[in-house]
Every structure is written in C-alpha cells, then in structure tokens.
Amino acid sequence: MNTPPGLERVLFTEQQIQQRIREVAAEIDRRYQGRTLKLIGILKGSIFFLTDLARALTLPVKIDTLGISSFSNPGRSAGLVRISKDLDESIENEDVLVVEDIIDTGFTIRYLMQNLAARGPNSLGLCTLLDRTSRRIVQVPVDFRCFEIGESFVIGYGLDYKQLYRNLCYLAVINPERAV
C-alpha cells in the first residue's frame, strides 16, 4: 500500500508492535497459567491484534467476537452503546479476556465489561493495544496494554479512518483534514 494521504509519522513499526505483543502475551500466559482462556475481540478494530496475540500465547485459547456501536448525539446522552453482533457462545464459567484496539473515554468499554460480567464468567479481564488515558472520562481497569498514546488520530493495524488503512502493518498518526 502506498503512503496514506495525511500521514504525519509512524508511531509504532511492525517490529515494535510484534515485540510488545510477545511481551504482553508472556504476561497473560503467567496470569492464566494452567487455564483455558477465552479471547473476545471487539469488531472490527481488534482483529489484527487479536490474531497476533492469540498466536503469541502458549496457553489454550478459544476465540469469539463482539460488535459494538457507540453514539454521541449533540444535545443527547453521550456514550450510548449498542451491541451489533453478540457472542456466538456463552462465557459462563469461562476465563475471559476482552481484546480491544483502543480505549479512549472509557464509556463504551465500561458498558461492555458490565454487560459481560453479568453473563457469569469465572474471570473477566481487559487487554488493549492502545490506551489513551489522557481522554479517559470513565475509569476502567485495564489488565494488559501494549502502548499508551496521546491525542493524535491513529490509523493502521486495525484502526481506521473512514474504514480505510486498517490493513497497514504499523500504527501511524494521520491528519484527518488531509486524509482521503
């Protein structure tokens, strides 16, 4: 793929991402040693991260996905969340790790974690590729994170701009005003 219009800089290279995923996978392996872990990827952004994380883990894993949409209407309640694609299987009595591409304000992930906790998992954890703590409004416990980032608009490795650039093998800062 050619360089995306509006690309300002590469934030993390493919090698940096893969190295950090291996490190986080080792932490997860230690925490869940001797157990089977169910990874729940949040569509669409987490797919690349979910896949590489699952491959880096040495413990047995199951995989499921969940689609969510969040809405913020001017003059209305912020942080309205809707499940657009539910899990295929129950998580009751499972050790569950939610795998997210980015955690920002915390509204969406808080709703999701509360929803999943009500389904009776044995344990429920949260792993994110990117954590934007500077914008956090609702505090959520993040068990595993690869990178903390600032305010920049980030694309690549699952993150998109108008559904484009998810397939980049690196994470980059883009200027949406100059992007296609």
| Dist CA 115 CA 123 (whole Å) | 13
Phi, psi of 18 (to 5 degrees): -65, -40
Task: Provide the annotated active-site residues.
Answer: 104
Both tokens assigned to 163? 């559904």
- The predicted model scores a pTM of 0.92
Residue 161 lies in a domain: no
Which CATH number is 81's domain given? 3.40.50.2020
Name which of 16-30, 34-48, 67-81, 87-101 the model is least confident about: 67-81
Parent domain of 47: 24-152
Residue 163 lies in a domain: no
Residue 13 lies in a domain: no
User: What does the pLDDT read at residue 179?
Assistant: 74
